[in-house]
Amino acid sequence: MLEIIFKRKSIRNYLNKKVENEKIEKILRAAMQASTAGNQQEWEFIVIDDKEIPHSLANISPYSSFLKNASF
């Protein structure tokens, strides 16, 4: 388990390829299994499949410029 944690990386370069709905659903289910303070589970997830929205968000902050090349 520690090996996986230590070897993780943040991906900022994406293929110009749509992510299948099944993969998105699996990722969301996994995220919902994460522990929350007091088991409150006050998380929210927004799935964006419109290419124009992330392109607009990419200009909001210098830390979000990677969104220009994200897959949808």
Per-residue pLDDT of the chain (72 residues; tens, 9 = 90+): 889 889 988 887 777 788 899 999 999 999 998 888 887 888 889 898 887 888 888 888 888 888 877 766
Task: Identify which of 24, 10, 13, 8 has the alpha carbon closest to the alpha carbon of residue 67.
Answer: 13
Tell me which DSSP letter residue 59 carries.
T
- Give me the pLDDT at residue 40, please: 83
Using alpha carbons, select from 16, 19, 15, 25 the residue that is nearest to residue 49: 19
Sign of the Cα torsion 15, 13, 8, 59 reads: negative
- pTM score: 0.60
